Amino acid sequence: MTVQEIMDAVKELKVMELSELVKALEEEFGVSATPVAVAGVGGGAADGAAAAEAKTDFDVVLVEAGSSKINVIKVVREITGLGLKEAKEKVDSAPQTIKEAAPEAEANEIKEKLEAAGAKVELK
């Protein structure tokens, strides 16, 4: 398999599959995919501050319900556990935070579900 073939295969992966691949590679080869600042490059302290501020938790924000509002309401109910009325109110009053401080993998999964239902979603 060529490097280009591997890159093409990786491009086809979903976010969760890519996350699993990274973890498997880290375990297999004893390496870390965490970016490391190179000494003598950049602002030193500023690089450390940027690394400390790297987000690990995200808020999933429903920006717009889109054309299939009923499907979006169903997904919001599934994610939040809200009743029909509360979920509908959340969708109708978009932009609205659907899930706060969700880990990156969970936030991406929620975003995929909502987008599949036709919603417009942002991670903040």
Phi/psi at 99 (5° precision): -145, 130
Per-residue pLDDT tens for 83-98? 899 889 988 988 888 8
Quick one: pLDDT at residue 53?
56
CA distance 61 to 99: 7
Six token digits for residue 14: 């979903």
User: Which pTM value belongs to this model?
Assistant: 0.55
Phi/psi at 95 (5° precision): -75, 140
Whether the pLDDT of residue 73 is over 60: the answer is yes
**Mean pLDDT across the chain:** 80
Per-residue pLDDT tens for 43-69? 444 554 554 456 678 888 889 888 888
Whether the pLDDT of residue 80 is over 80: the answer is yes
Q: What is the DSSP string of 4-32?
A: HHHHHHHHTS-HHHHHHHHHHHHHHHT--
